[in-house]
């Protein structure tokens, strides 16, 4: 705040300075606030929908000083009447507001206020409050050019209590906050900030001020229609309104989505803008972040759902949770009333239409007999449209008609019927020619039928129009049939009936099988008979015979016979000539263990092609087997078939020992990280059992493939005779480290030669020096162009481990050196070393500080002002750099004592240091250094006294100030006369006491320039003289009285 004039301090601030200071900042939020009360947790929807403010709203105005507006990057002072809500105790009544002044952001919004410490003034608001209410308070504070201090005070306008002291640096805004309970009877509360310390002319920035009851978010819900049809959309809308005293934060709206509807998308509309909500498909709860809602503001939320399940009165209810902005100590919850929606059925319409069969040339009306209906709309027959119709009644064929109808909900149904156009053909008679034996019966209708395309089966309409059949005489006859359909089309058909003589004769002969060399009579067992002629065997003749009994094979014989009616029958039989083979013995070699029993006939059999199984005829003709002695023996078998054919067979019987199994393996050499299969590279075998690898067991193993070392694996194997063999196998695990490339980053000047392999090497734990294997896989170095480049090397060891490494190559330019120095601010009369802290460096030469020269220096430390020093430095390439820095010589100002004249009642104790402070431009607060060099005050004697103070700063500058102390007269009890007369009433003229005098002397000159304006003022002198005269007059009148 800019102070325009220096005058008397207001009486209000004197009261503030002497007030007692209880602590309110640590009080907790009222535990009876609405969100934590048990009744707000009730789930009764009626109670939830009737949320009431727990207390009357309390809120200050213009807490972020956004009114009146100030241009960006500037500051401006306003009369307090121009700043909504705010007042000041400053004598000039002005309030300063800044907007990003000195590139400083506001704590909230764009603007903030400045409260200077130059005059002990304050910013405040008087707010109508409800006793017992708990309010939250908050203020963002920041020093402007140094660390500044201001106090926060609450109370009635005449009795303020210290709530907190804010001390904040220039670096950033700091927020102070707490709660305050309005005391009983306090219907007006002053919320005040008072500057205490810091830069006297600049400081104490204030913003983001809150003094308010809690935020209170109510939520109401609605839907754009009371019912929606299935698969159609309805829109829910909810309004979250802040009816409390302050803004909210972390405001979240939660809405359970009913089972009967489906959420179209979790992205909802908030005040017309899309906002990403979150939807939990398990709980069906849609959560919508609303952030902060300012006081009296409303956020409007809408989202769409689609009806999915038919149901009446589907309800949901929104829940809103939030906190007070800037306070996270308490969460609030509120509820909306029920929002009800019914989901109606949305059935598609139904078309009723049937297939048609038409005769060629007949008429066709596609709408005849076609209807449509809908569950919601009723009869929709008039809405049916024919969308396809290819019927042509002049041409036979199959055609289709497609119908479509749409109900009022836009549901469309289509249906296609088939229309068949048939010809007008004559009927068809089905009858076949017949052959009958002489004397057999004959039914002319047997097997006869008739059908018609239109009439179907018309067999019953068939008539015989001609029939000359005589079954008693062999011959050829005819029968004629006729039938007429419903269209008058007549069809006739004639068949032939043949009457034949009796059956042909039958030959009886069977297939035969003969052994090679046997005799064959083709007529043996052959006969013939006839129904009319009887036995006609003597008439049988052999018409074909290729049988050769001397050769194995399949042959045929054909017979023929003719009866008396001339009917001839033929028959062919098969004659098979088989060989006369010897029998076959089946027996296998055997291997037995020593000492085992041996059955010579076990598993031995014999068979013969003609005789079949002849195992019973086998004899052992030789057997030398000795099962007690290891060796090879033989057994000979013999068998003879019924034809005298004899077969012999000899088998080998091996008697083996009963040895234990053996292993075949070797030690394993692996590298760290390899995979080890303990079953790989090891086998087991047994003399009797053969390969036993599959039966190997691991008895123990300590192999660790992550650590180099020598390990052991113990195996065992057991043969079928329970002979067990064990073996230990060693596993040697060696390291398998990747190779290492030794190469470093390089820096050189442009134009120098560059060999990427120079100074580079590679080594491997197993392979040793493998520098020769290094390859350069990438190299973008341009040695003639300044810049940063890279070279990538790669090397692979014998284990195929590959290492790559990239180094940075910096090609330097021939740049000028750099001088580093800082501007200097120094008090007058003090020495300055122009080389102190000054350095120089060069990209190529490094530190060049020793080469710096001062080529210009006009510093005069005895005269305040701004001076300059110019430095120069030269690098090895002849590049020269010059730099000039500023040296500011400051004045050495005297300290300032702040003390005010005082008035004491008679006998009142007097502390000469009470309220007295001192400060120095260079040394800061010097209150502790103040000395009282004279003090003649006597509180027991009325009169005018003086106290003189002195303080000296670190530079030896001394300031003295004298204040006046007025001690009032001793009270006198009035005398009561014995015979009082009527007193004469004399009303003395009222005495106007001057406001307490501020006496802040820092220099002999009593006329002081005001901050920023340049105005001068003699008011202090006038007020001081007038006040002294007024007090003397008061004493005079009192003594006379």
* Cβ count within 10 A of residue 326: 17
Q: When comparing pLDDT for 78 and 1004, which is higher? A: 78
* pLDDT tens readout for residues 123-179: 999 999 999 999 999 999 998 888 888 899 999 999 999 999 999 999 999 999 999
Label residue 231 by pLDDT band (50, 70, 90): confident
One-character DSSP codes across 419-462: EEEE--PPPEEE---EEEETT----TTTT-EEEETTTEE-GGG-
DSSP β-ladder status, 740-742 and 746-749: unpaired
Could you write out the DSSP letters of every residue in 100-117?
SGGGPPPSSSSEEEE--S
CATH class of 220-344: mainly beta
Q: Say if residues 237 and 221 touch (Cβ distance below 8 Å).
A: yes
Rounded to whole angstroms, how far apart are CA atoms 483 and 452? 10
pLDDT score of 438: 81
Residue 291's closest CA among 251, 262, 234?
251
CATH dotted code for 11-212: 2.60.120.260
Residue 893, pLDDT score: 82
Residue 160: count other Cβ atoms within 10 Å of its Cβ.
Answer: 24
Q: What is the pLDDT of residues 664-689, one digit of tens each?
A: 999 998 888 889 999 999 999 988 78
- The pLDDT tens digits for 964-984 are 999 988 876 554 444 444 443
Among the CATH numbers 3.40.50.970, 1.10.1660.10, 2.40.50.140, 2.60.40.10, which is that of 662-734? 2.60.40.10
> 345 to each of 234, 311, 342, 372, 411, how far by Cα in Å?
14, 9, 10, 18, 12
pLDDT at 1025 over 60: no
> Which pLDDT score is estimated for 979?
45
Alpha-carbon span 1012 to 655, nearest angstrom: 129
Q: What is the mean pLDDT of residues 519-533?
A: 90
Cα angle 924-930-935, degrees, rounded to a multiple of 5: 155
Per the CB < 8 A criterion, the answer to whether 940 and 905 are in contact is: no
3-state DSSP: the chain helix, strand, coil percent, rounded to 5?
Answer: 5, 45, 45
**Residue 947 φ/ψ, nearest 5 degrees:** -125, 130
* Dist. CA 948–CA 801, nearest whole Å: 91
The arrangement of secondary structure in 506-578, i.e. its CATH architecture, is Sandwich (2.60)
pLDDT score, position 54: 63
Beta bridge partners of 662: 685
| Poorest-pLDDT segment among 25-29, 68-72, 364-368, 671-675 | 25-29
Residue 9 has pLDDT above 50, yes or no: no
Asked if 764 and 797 count as a contact pair (C-beta separation under 8 A), the reply is yes
d(CA 641, CA 297): 120
Do residues 743 and 760 lie in contact, with contact meaning Cβ atoms separated by under 8 Å?
yes
Segment 504-512 mean pLDDT: 93
| pLDDT of 657 above 80 | no
pLDDT bucket at 346, cuts 50 / 70 / 90: confident
Alpha-carbon distance 712 to 727, whole Å? 10
78: preceding bond cis by omega (within 30 degrees): no
Closest to 423 in 3D by CA, of 333, 376, 489, 378: 489
- Tell me the pLDDT tens digit for each residue of 793-851: 999 988 888 999 999 999 887 778 999 999 998 888 888 899 998 999 987 788 989 99
User: What pLDDT band is residue 16 in, cutting at 50, 70 and 90?
Assistant: very low
pLDDT confidence band for 408 (50 / 70 / 90): confident
CATH 2.60.40.10 in the chain, residues? 350-422, 428-500, 506-578, 584-656, 662-734, 740-807, 818-890, 896-1040
- 287-296, 769-778, 1005-1014: least confident range: 1005-1014
First to last CA, the chain: 47
DSSP 8-state secondary structure symbol assigned to residue 97: E
Question: Rounded CA gap, 891 and 796, in Å?
Answer: 74
- Homologous superfamily (CATH) for 740-807: Immunoglobulins (2.60.40.10)
pLDDT tens-digit map of 163-184:
999 999 999 999 999 999 999 9
Cross-strand bridge partners of residue 993 = none
Question: CA-to-CA distance for 615 and 637, rounded, in angstroms?
Answer: 11
CATH 2.60.40.10 fits 584-656, yes or no: yes
**Residues 6 or more apart from 758 whose CB is under 8 A from it?**
none
3-state secondary structure of 318: coil
CB 558 within 8 A of CB 571: yes
Q: Choose which CATH entry (3.40.50.300, 2.60.40.10, 3.40.50.720, 1.10.357.140) describes domain 818-890.
A: 2.60.40.10
Residue 149 DSSP SS3: strand
User: In three state form, how does the secondary structure of 521-575 look?
Assistant: CCCCCCEEEECCCEECHHHCEEEEECCCCCCCEEEEEEEEEECCCCCEEEEEEEE
Give the CA distances from residue 861 to residues 228, 822, 889, 957, in Å, rounded to whole numbers and listed in that order.
Answer: 90, 17, 6, 18
Q: Is residue 1008 pLDDT above 70, yes or no?
A: no
Question: pLDDT for 893-950, tens place per residue?
Answer: 889 999 999 999 998 999 999 999 999 887 889 899 999 999 999 999 999 999 999 9
CA 266, 272, 277 angle in degrees (round to 5)? 20
Query: What 3-state DSSP class applies to 91?
Result: coil
Question: Token match 């009148």: residue?
Answer: 1037
Tell me the pLDDT band of 1018, cut-offs 50, 70 and 90. Answer: very low
Hey, what are 645's tokens? 């054919």
Sheet with 490-500: strands ordered across: 434-437, 490-500, 475-484, 463-467
In the prediction, which pLDDT does 120 show? 65
d(CA 591, CA 606): 22
Residues 166 and 211: beta-carbon distance below 8 Å: no
Q: Do 360 and 393 contact (CB within 8 A), yes or no?
A: yes
- Residue 377 pLDDT grade (very low, low, confident, very high; cuts 50, 70, 90): confident
Round to whole Å and give the CA distance between 175 and 139.
6
Question: If you ran DSSP here, which 8-state letter would residue 4 be given?
Answer: -
Please give the CATH number for the structural domain made up of 896-1040.
2.60.40.10
> How many residues are there in the chain?
1041
pLDDT at 972 (0 to 100): 64
pLDDT at 499: 86
Does residue 80 sit in helix, strand or coil?
A: helix
At residue 704, the pLDDT reads 92
Examine the pLDDT at 274 and tell me if it is beyond 80: yes
The matching CATH number, chosen from 3.40.50.2300, 3.40.50.300, 3.20.20.60, 2.60.40.10, for 428-500 is 2.60.40.10
Percent of the chain whose pLDDT exceeds 70: 87
Residues 920, 952 contacting (CB under 8 angstroms) = no
Task: Write down the pTM of the prediction.
Answer: 0.39
Strand partners, 741: 762
Quick one: how many helices (H) and strands (E) in the chain?
3, 84
Mean pLDDT value across residues 730-751 = 87
Q: What is the pLDDT of residues 204-226, one digit of tens each?
A: 899 999 989 999 999 999 999 99
List Cβ neighbours of 521 (8 Å cut-off, separation of 6 or more).
Answer: none
pLDDT band at 404 (very low <50, low <70, confident <90, very high): very high
Helix (H, G, I), strand (E, B) or coil at 383: helix
Contacts of 910 (CB under 8 A, 6+ apart): 902, 904, 937, 939, 965
pLDDT in tens, 579-592: 778 899 999 999 88
pLDDT at 596 over 90: no
Residue 51 has pLDDT above 80, yes or no: no
In eight-state DSSP terms, residue 41 is G
Q: Percent of the chain, pLDDT > 90?
A: 61
Q: What number does CATH give the domain 350-422?
A: 2.60.40.10
Tokens 């497609």 -> residue: 402
Q: Torsion over CA of 247, 248, 252 and 256, rounded to 10 degrees?
A: -80
Least confident interval from 239-248, 532-541, 1024-1033: 1024-1033
User: Can you tell me the distance from the alpha carbon of 1011 to that of 435, in angstroms, rounded to the nearest whole number?
Assistant: 146
> What pLDDT score does 993 carry?
36
User: What does the block give as tokens for 187?
Assistant: 């219907």
Among candidates 605, 599, 614, 566, which has minimal Cα distance to 585?
605
Stretch(es) of the chain classified as CATH 2.60.40.1510? 220-344
Mean model confidence pLDDT for the chain: 85
| pLDDT of residue 8 exceeding 90 | no
Whole-number pLDDT of residue 118:
58
Residue 1036: its H or E element: helix 1019-1040
Reading across the β-sheet that carries 802-812, which strands appear in turn?
A: 746-749, 802-812, 787-796, 775-779
């Amino acid at each position: 705040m800019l102070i325009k004039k220096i005058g008397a301090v207001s009486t209000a601030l004197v009261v503030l300075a002497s007030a007692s200071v209880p602590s309110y900042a640590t009080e907790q939020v009222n535990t009876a606030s609405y969100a934590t009360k048990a009744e707000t947790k009730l789930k009764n929807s009626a109670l939830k929908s009737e949320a009431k403010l727990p207390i009357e709203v309390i809120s200050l105005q213009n807490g972020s000083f956004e009114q009146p507006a100030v241009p960006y990057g500037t500051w401006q002072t306003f009369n307090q009447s121009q700043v909504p809500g705010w007042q000041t105790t400053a004598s000039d009544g002005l309030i300063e507001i800044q907007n990003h002044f000195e590139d400083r952001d506001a704590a909230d919004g764009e603007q903030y206020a400045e409260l200077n410490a130059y005059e002990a003034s304050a910013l405040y608001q008087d707010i109508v409050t409800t006793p017992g209410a708990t309010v939250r308070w908050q203020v963002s504070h920041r020093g402007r050019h140094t660390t500044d201090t201001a106090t926060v005070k609450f109370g009635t306008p005449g009795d303020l209590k210290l709530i907190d002291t804010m001390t904040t640096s220039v670096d950033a805004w700091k927020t102070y906050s707490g709660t305050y309970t309005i005391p009983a009877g306090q219907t007006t509360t002053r919320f005040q900030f008072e500057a205490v310390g810091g830069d006297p002319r600049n400081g104490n920035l204030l913003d983001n001020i809150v003094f308010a009851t809690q935020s209170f978010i109510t939520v109401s819900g609605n839907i754009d229609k009371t019912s929606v049809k299935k698969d159609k959309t309805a829109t829910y809308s909810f309004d979250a309104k802040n009816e409390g005293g302050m803004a909210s934060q972390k405001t979240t709206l939660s809405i359970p989505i009913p089972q009967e509807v489906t959420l179209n998308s979790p992205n909802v509309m908030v005040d017309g803008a899309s906002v990403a909500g979150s939807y939990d498909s398990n709980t069906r709860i849609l959560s919508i972040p609303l952030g902060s809602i300012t006081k009296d503001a409303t956020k409007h939320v809408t989202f769409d759902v689609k009806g999915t399940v038919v149901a009446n009165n589907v309800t949901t209810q929104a829940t809103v949770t939030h906190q007070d902005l800037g306070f996270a100590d308490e969460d609030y919850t509120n509820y909306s009333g029920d929002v009800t929606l019914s989901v109606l059925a949305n059935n598609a319409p139904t078309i009723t239409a049937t297939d048609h069969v038409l005769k060629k040339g007949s008429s066709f009306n596609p709408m005849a007999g076609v209807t449509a209906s809908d569950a919601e709309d009723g009869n929709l027959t008039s809405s049916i449209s024919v969308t396809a119709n290819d019927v042509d009644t002049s041409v036979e064929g199959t055609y289709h008609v497609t119908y479509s109808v749409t109900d009022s909900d836009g549901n469309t149904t289509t249906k296609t019927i088939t229309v068949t156009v048939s010809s007008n053909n004559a009927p068809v008679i089905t009858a076949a020619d017949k052959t009958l034996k002489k004397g057999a019966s004959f039914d002319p209708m047997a097997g006869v039928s008739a059908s018609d395309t239109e009439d179907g089966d018309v067999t019953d309409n068939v008539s015989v129009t001609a029939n000359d059949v005589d079954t008693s005489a062999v011959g050829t006859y005819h029968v004629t049939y006729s039938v007429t359909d419903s269209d008058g089309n007549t069809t006739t058909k004639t068949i032939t009936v043949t009457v034949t003589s009796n059956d042909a004769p039958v030959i009886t002969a069977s297939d035969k099988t003969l052994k090679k060399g046997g005799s064959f009579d083709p007529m043996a067992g052959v006969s013939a008979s006839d129904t009319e002629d009887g036995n006609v065997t003597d008439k049988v003749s052999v018409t074909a015979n290729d049988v050769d009994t001397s050769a194995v094979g399949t042959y045929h014989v054909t017979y023929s016979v003719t009866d008396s009616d001339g009917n001839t029958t033929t028959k062919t039989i098969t004659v098979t000539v088989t060989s006369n083979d010897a029998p076959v013995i089946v027996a296998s070699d055997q291997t037995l263990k020593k000492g085992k029993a041996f059955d010579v006939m076990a598993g031995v059999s014999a068979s013969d092609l003609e005789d079949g199984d002849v195992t019973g005829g086998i004899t052992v003709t030789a057997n030398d087997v000795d099962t007690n002695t290891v060796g090879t023996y033989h057994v000979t078998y013999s068998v003879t078939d019924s034809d005298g054919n004899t077969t012999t067979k000899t088998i080998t019987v091996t008697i083996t020992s009963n040895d234990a199994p053996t292993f075949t393996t070797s030690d394993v050499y692996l590298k760290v990280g390899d995979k080890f299969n303990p079953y790989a590279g090891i086998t087991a075998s047994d003399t009797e059992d053969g390969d036993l690898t599959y039966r190997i067991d691991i008895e123990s193993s300590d192999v660790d493939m992550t650590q180099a070392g020598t390990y052991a694996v113990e195996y065992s194997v057991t043969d079928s005779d329970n002979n067990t063999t064990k073996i230990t196998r060693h596993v040697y695990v060696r390291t398998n480290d990747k190779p290492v490339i030794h190469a470093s980053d390089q820096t050189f000047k442009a134009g120098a030669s560059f060999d990427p392999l120079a100074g580079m090497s590679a080594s491997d734990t197993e392979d040793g020096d493998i520098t020769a294997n290094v390859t350069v896989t990438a190299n973008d170095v341009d040695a003639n162009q300044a810049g940063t480049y890279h070279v990538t090397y790669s090397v692979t060891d014998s284990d195929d481990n590959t290492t790559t490494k990239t180094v940075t190559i910096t090609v330097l330019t021939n740049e000028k050196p750099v001088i580093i120095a800082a501007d200097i601010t120094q008090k007058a009369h003090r020495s300055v070393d122009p080389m102190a802290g000054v350095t120089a460096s060069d990209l190529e030469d490094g530190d060049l500080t020793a080469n710096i020269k001062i080529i210009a220096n006009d510093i005069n430390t005895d005269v305040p002002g701004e001076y300059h020093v110019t430095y120069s430095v030269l690098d090895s390439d002849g590049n020269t750099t010059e730099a000039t820095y500023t040296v500011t010589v400051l004045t050495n100002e005297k300290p300032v004592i702040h003390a005010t004249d005082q008035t004491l009642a008679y006998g009142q104790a007097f502390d000469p240091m009470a309220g007295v402070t001192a400060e120095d431009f260079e040394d800061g607060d010097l209150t502790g250094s103040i000395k009282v060099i004279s003090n003649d005050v006597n509180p027991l004697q009325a009169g005018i006294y003086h106290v003189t103070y002195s303080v000296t700063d670190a530079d030896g500058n001394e300031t003295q100030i004298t204040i006046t102390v007025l001690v009032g007269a001793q009270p006198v009890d009035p005398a009561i006369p014995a015979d009082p007369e009527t007193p004469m009433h004399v009303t003395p003229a009222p005495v106007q006491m001057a406001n307490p005098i501020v006496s802040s002397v820092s220099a002999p000159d009593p006329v002081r320039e005001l901050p920023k304006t340049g105005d001068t003022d003699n008011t202090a002198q006038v007020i001081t003289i007038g006040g002294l005269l007024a007090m003397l007059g008061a004493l005079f009148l009192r003594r006379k009285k």
